[in-house]
C-alpha cells in the first residue's frame, strides 16, 4: 500500500552564507523573522524595511533519502511559491512557476542533497512581461505575469510583502503497481436518492496488472474494474439526508472511501467527506432584468455574504484552528455565504472543511483580479493546469456552490481604459469565457460557473449593470454618501463596503510608542487605499462634525459611520427581496493590522460592523425605509416559518417625549418581506424627532432619524453603569444614540458581545464582556462612547 513520509524537518534557508533553520511549510519572511534577521513587517513602518526580501533569490535545502522496498518513490510538493528549480545533488528534477499547483517528481532509488532554489517573483514576472508585452492593471506591481497570490504584491488594504518558499506540505510517497492519481466525485440527489459517481484515474508502474476499485458511502458498497488508467464506480444511497446552508437545515456529511486493489492487495486509499445537495444558479430574465439567485435543494436564497481575503499575508501560518475561528465568527454573524476573492488563493482543505461543517456556502473565484492577464505561454498552460487540479481537489466539498472566473477584469476592460491600451492584445477573456467554463463543464458539471464579478452575462450590456447579474457598488465609497446605496436595486451585490480603522488595542500593538492621530506616520502607513483618509473624512462630514484633534472621538465615529453605511445598503437591498438576491460585504477579514473595510481586524478583533452584521443578517430584520409614498417599515423574514406580530410605532423627540404612538399588526410569509406603511401622523419632522419601531416581545427594533446627526440637537448623554456577572449594565437617563463599549480599551484580551445600541430614556442594556481581568464600573465608563451633541 502507498506509504507517505512527511518532509517537514531538517530544512535550512541559505542567507548570506549562513544556514538558518527553516519551517516547512513556511516562507522566507517567516523564517527570517524567526531567526531575528528582519523586524516584524506588521509593526510600524517595518514593511518598507523588508522590501528587499521579495527581490532576492532564496534557497532551501535538506537531505533526501528515497530508499524503499516499493517500486516507485515520488517527491510531492503540495505548494511552491512560486518560480523555483528543484535539484537533487545538483541534478535538475524540474522547474515550477505556479503557487496554485502541486508538483510530483520521480526520485525512485535516489538520495542526496535536495535543493529548492526560488527565483525572485519580481524577476520571474518581469521576464514574462518582457516576453508577452505590457498589460494594464489597477496597481503598478507585476502580479498578472506570475501565477501567484496577487495581493502579496500589495493591495488597497494589504502590505507589499512578496513571498517565496515551500508554503504547503512536502512528502515522499512510496508505492508499487499503481496509485490513485485523481478522483472526481460527482454527487447528485433526487427524490431521496443520493448518487455518487467516482471517476478514478490511476498511475501505473506495471502496465499489465489487473486493477479494481471498491468504494463505500452511507453503508453502500460498489466495485468497478480499471480499464487501462481509469474507471468509474457508481453508488446509489437511499434515504439520504440533505446538506443545507446554515439557517436552512442541518449539515450531514458522509464518509466516502475508495480503495485501489490488485487482486486482494490494497494499493492505495482515497478518503473524503461529501454532502448530498443540489445547487442551481437562476439567471433567467424577468421584468427587472436578469436574476442571479442561488437555489439550494430547491430553496431560493437571499445570500447573506462576506468577501474573504487571505487571513494572513503569509498564508502558510494560518492553521486549521484559525480558519475555524474566523469562519465561526462569520457564521455567528448570520453569514451564510463566503466569497473567496480572486486576488488570493485556493484555500486549504481546512477552510472548506470548516465551511462544510458550519453550513457556509462558498463562492470560489479563480485567482484573477483587477488586471489584464496575458493569455500567451507560459501562462496559458499554467492557468489550465491549476484550474484542472483545483476544481478536482475542491469538488468533494458540499459548501462549494459557485465557480467565478475573475474579480473585476471584465469590468476593467470596459471601463478602466484597458481596451484602448491593449490594442488587441490578449487580456484574459479567453480564460473567463473559454478555458475556465470548459474545465468546469468537463470536470465539475454539478456546479454553476459565472465568467466574473461583476458580470451582466453578456457584452450587449455593461458588465456592472445593476439590473443584470452581479454588481460591485464602489462609487458610493469613492465619491458619494452611503445614502447612494438606495439609488437602485441590484440583482446581486457582490461587493460594497466602507472603511474604518482597526480596534484600538490592535493599533496600539501595531504602532508601538506612536502618538496616534489620523495622519500620524504609522496610521498613514497602515492606510493603503488611495486617498483613504480623505474619503473617510468626507464620508464622516456628511453626517457629523469632524472631531479635529480628538483621536478617540475620530476612531469611534469612523466605526459608527462604517456600521451605518453597510446597514444602509443591506437594509435597503434585503427589503427588496426577491429582486435583490444577495449582498456580499467587502470584507470579512484582514491580513494584517490596517484601516480597511473589514468587519474583523488583522488581530482578529471584531469591529462594531461585525456586531451590526449580526443584526443585519439575522433571519428576521426590521428596517424603516423612505419610499415615494412615505415612510415604510419592512419586516424581512428569512426564516422557514411565517412571522406575525404587532409593531409598536413611536414618534419621539430627542428629549424623550413620545409625540405619537400606534400599534399595527403585520404578517410576513416564510422567506418573504412584509411592508407596513407608517401612518403619516407618526412620520418625524425636522431634526428634533425620530421614529422607533419595535416588534412587541421580539426584541427587534428599527430607528429612523430624518436629519443628519450634525443637525440633531442631542441632549448631553447621561447614563448609569453597573457591574453584573459577565459584563456591565447601562441604564439611560437621556437618549443615548449608538452606545459602544470598546472593551479592548479595558484589556487587550477583552471582547464585548454586542456593538452599537441606541437607548431611549429609562431603557437598559446588558453588555457581556469576556477576557476582562479586573472588572470595574468606573473603568468601564471610560470605554463607553456614544454620539454627542455638536459642539
Handedness of CA 309, 411, 397, 223 (dihedral sign): negative
What's the CA dihedral at 777, 783, 788, 790 to 10 degrees? 140
Q: Terminus-to-terminus CA distance in the chain, angstroms?
A: 77
Answer for the pair 582, 561: CB distance below 8 angstroms, yes or no.
no
Handedness of CA 680, 681, 687, 689 (dihedral sign): negative
Q: With left for phi above 0 and alpha for psi between -120 and 50, is residue 424 left, alpha or beta?
A: left
Residue 543, all three cell numbers: 453626517
CA 52 to chain centre: 29
Is the bond leading into 757 cis (omega within 30 degrees of zero)? no
> By CB neighbour count within 10 A (0-12 exposed, 13-18 middle, 19+ buried), where does 769 fall?
buried
Distance CA 493, CA 279 (A): 20
Residue 378, all three cell numbers: 507560459
Distance CA 448, CA 469 (A): 13
3-class DSSP state of 59: strand
Catalytic pick among 173, 347, 408, 606 = 408
CA 7 to chain centre: 31
Name the residue among 629, 572, 562 with its Cα closest to residue 598. Answer: 562
Distance CA 434, CA 411 (A): 17
Q: How far is CA 652 from CA 144, 647, 658, 691, in A?
A: 56, 15, 4, 6
Name the residue among 743, 736, 738, 732 with its Cα closest to residue 776. Answer: 743
Distance CA 382, CA 388 (A): 10
- How many Cα atoms within 13 Å fall on the side-chain side of residue 473? 33
Answer for the pair 770, 726: CB distance below 8 angstroms, yes or no.
yes
Long-range contacts of 17-26 (CB under 8 A, 24+ apart): 19/61, 22/60, 24/60, 24/166, 24/169, 24/170, 25/79, 25/165, 25/166, 25/167, 25/168, 25/169, 25/170, 25/316, 26/165, 26/166, 26/167, 26/316, 26/317
For 575-689, where are the alpha helices, taking DSSP H only? 608-616
Beta bridge partners of 400: 362
Spatial strand order in the sheet of 58-65: 18-21, 12-15, 58-65, 111-118, 83-88, 91-97
Helix, strand, coil distribution of the chain in percent, nearest 5: 25, 35, 40
* Phi (first) and psi of residue 461, to 5 degrees: -125, 160
Got the DSSP string for 195-257?
Answer: EEEEEEEEEES-TT---EEEEEETTEEEEEE-BTTEEEEEEEETTPPBP--TTTS----EEEE
Q: Judge whether 408 counts as a catalytic residue.
A: yes
Residue 239, all three cell numbers: 434515504
Spatial strand order in the sheet of 254-262: 220-225, 212-217, 254-262, 265-274
Distance CA 187, CA 235 (A): 10
Q: How many CB atoms sit inside 10 A of residue 589's CB? A: 23
Distance CA 710, CA 713 (A): 8
Distance CA 210, CA 215 (A): 17
Catalytic residue positions, numbered: 408
Amino acid at each position: 500500500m502507498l506509504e507517505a513520509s512527511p518532509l517537514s524537518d531538517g530544512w535550512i534557508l541559505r542567507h548570506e552564507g549562513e544556514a538558518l533553520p527553516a519551517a516547512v511549510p513556511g516562507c522566507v519572511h517567516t523564517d527570517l523573522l524567526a531567526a531575528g534577521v528582519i523586524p516584524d513587517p506588521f509593526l510600524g513602518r517595518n514593511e518598507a524595511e523588508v522590501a528587499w526580501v521579495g527581490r532576492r533569490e532564496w534557497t532551501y535545502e535538506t537531505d533526501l533519502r528515497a530508499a524503499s522496498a516499493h517500486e516507485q518513490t515520488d517527491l510531492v510538493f503540495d505548494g511552491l511559491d512560486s518560480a523555483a528549480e528543484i535539484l537533487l545533488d545538483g541534478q535538475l528534477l524540474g522547474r515550477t512557476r505556479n503557487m496554485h499547483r502541486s508538483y510530483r517528481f520521480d526520485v525512485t532509488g535516489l538520495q542526496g542533497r535536495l535543493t529548492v532554489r526560488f527565483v525572485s517573483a519580481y524577476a520571474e514576472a518581469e521576464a514574462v512581461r518582457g516576453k508577452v508585452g505590457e498589460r494594464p492593471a489597477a496597481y503598478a506591481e507585476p502580479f498578472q505575469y506570475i501565477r501567484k497570490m496577487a495581493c502579496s504584491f500589495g493591495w488597497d488594504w494589504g502590505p507589499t510583502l512578496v513571498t517565496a518558499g515551500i508554503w504547503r506540505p512536502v512528502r515522499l510517497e512510496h508505492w508499487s503497481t499503481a496509485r490513485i492519481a485523481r478522483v472526481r466525485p460527482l454527487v447528485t440527489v433526487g427524490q431521496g436518492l443520493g448518487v455518487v459517481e467516482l471517476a478514478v484515474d490511476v498511475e501505473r508502474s506495471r502496465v499489465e496488472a489487473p486493477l479494481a476499485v471498491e468504494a463505500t458511502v452511507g453503508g453502500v458498497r460498489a466495485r468497478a474494474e480499471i480499464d487501462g488508467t481509469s474507471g468509474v464506480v457508481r453508488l446509489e444511497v437511499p434515504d439520504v439526508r440533505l446538506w443545507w446552508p446554515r439557517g436552512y437545515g442541518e449539515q450531514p456529511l458522509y464518509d466516502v472511501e475508495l480503495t485501489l486493489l490488485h487482486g486482494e492487495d490494497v494499493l492505495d486509499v482515497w478518503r473524503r467527506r461529501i454532502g448530498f445537495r443540489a445547487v442551481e444558479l437562476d439567471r433567467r430574465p424577468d421584468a427587472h432584468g436578469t436574476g442571479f439567485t442561488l437555489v439550494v435543494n430547491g430553496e431560493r436564497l437571499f445570500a447573506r455574504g462576506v468577501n474573504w481575503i487571505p487571513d494572513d499575508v503569509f498564508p502558510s501560518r494560518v492553521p486549521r484552528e484559525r480558519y475555524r475561528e474566523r469562519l465561526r465568527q462569520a457564521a455567528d454573524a448570520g453569514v451564510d455565504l463566503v466569497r473567496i476573492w480572486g486576488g488570493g488563493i485556493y484555500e486549504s482543505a481546512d477552510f472548506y472543511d470548516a465551511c462544510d461543517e458550519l453550513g457556509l456556502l462558498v463562492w470560489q473565484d479563480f485567482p484573477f483580479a483587477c488586471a489584464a492577464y496575458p493569455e500567451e505561454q507560459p501562462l496559458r498552460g499554467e492557468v489550465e493546469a491549476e484550474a484542472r487540479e483545483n476544481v478536482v481537489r475542491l469538488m468533494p466539498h458540499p459548501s462549494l456552490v459557485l465557480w467565478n472566473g475573475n474579480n473585476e477584469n471584465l469590468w476593467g476592460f470596459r471601463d478602466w481604459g484597458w481596451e484602448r491600451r491593449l490594442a488587441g492584445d490578449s487580456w484574459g477573456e479567453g480564460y473567463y469565457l473559454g478555458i475556465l467554463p470548459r474545465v468546469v463543464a468537463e470536470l465539475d458539471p454539478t456546479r454553476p460557473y459565472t465568467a466574473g464579478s461583476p458580470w451582466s452575462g453578456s457584452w450587449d450590456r455593461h458588465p456592472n449593470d445593476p439590473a443584470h447579474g452581479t454588481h460591485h457598488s464602489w462609487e458610493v465609497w469613492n465619491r458619494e454618501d452611503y445614502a447612494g446605496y438606495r439609488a437602485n436595486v441590484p440583482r446581486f451585490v457582490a461587493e460594497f463596503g466602507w472603511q474604518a480603522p482597526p480596534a484600538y488595542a490592535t493599533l496600539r500593538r501595531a504602532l508601538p510608542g506612536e502618538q496616534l492621530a489620523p495622519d500620524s506616520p504609522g496610521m498613514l502607513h497602515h492606510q493603503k487605499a488611495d486617498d483613504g483618509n480623505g474619503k473617510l473624512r468626507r464620508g464622516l462630514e456628511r453626517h457629523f462634525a469632524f472631531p479635529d484633534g480628538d483621536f478617540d472621538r475620530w476612531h469611534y465615529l469612523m466605526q459608527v459611520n462604517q456600521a451605518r453605511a453597510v446597514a444602509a445598503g443591506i437594509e435597503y437591498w434585503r427589503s427588496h427581496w426577491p429582486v435583490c438576491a444577495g449582498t456580499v460585504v467587502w470584507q470579512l477579514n484582514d491580513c494584517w493590522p490596517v484601516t480597511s473595510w473589514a468587519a474583523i481586524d488583522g488581530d482578529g478583533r471584531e469591529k462594531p460592523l461585525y456586531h451590526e452584521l449580526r443584526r443585519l443578517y439575522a433571519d428576521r430584520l426590521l428596517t424603516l425605509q423612505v419610499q415615494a409614498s412615505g415612510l415604510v417599515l419592512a419586516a424581512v423574514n428569512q426564516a422557514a416559518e411565517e412571522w406575525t406580530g404587532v409593531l409598536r410605532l413611536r414618534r419621539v423627540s430627542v428629549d424623550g417625549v413620545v409625540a405619537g404612538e400606534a400599534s399595527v399588526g403585520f404578517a410576513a410569509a416564510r422567506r418573504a418581506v412584509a411592508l407596513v406603511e407608517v401612518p403619516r401622523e407618526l412620520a418625524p419632522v425636522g431634526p428634533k424627532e425620530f421614529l422607533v419601531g419595535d416588534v412587541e416581545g421580539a426584541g427587534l427594533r428599527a430607528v429612523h432619524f430624518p436629519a443628519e446627526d450634525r443637525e440633531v440637537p442631542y441632549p448631553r448623554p447621561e447614563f448609569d453603569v453597573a457591574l453584573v456577572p459577565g459584563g456591565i449594565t447601562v441604564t439611560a437617563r437621556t437618549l443615548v444614540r449608538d452606545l459602544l463599549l470598546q472593551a479592548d480599551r479595558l484589556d487587550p484580551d477583552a471582547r464585548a458581545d454586542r456593538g452599537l445600541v441606541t437607548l431611549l430614556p429609562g431603557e437598559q442594556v446588558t453588555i457581556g464582556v469576556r477576557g476582562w481581568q479586573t472588572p470595574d464600573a468606573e473603568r468601564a465608563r471610560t470605554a463607553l462612547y456614544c454620539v454627542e451633541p455638536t459642539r
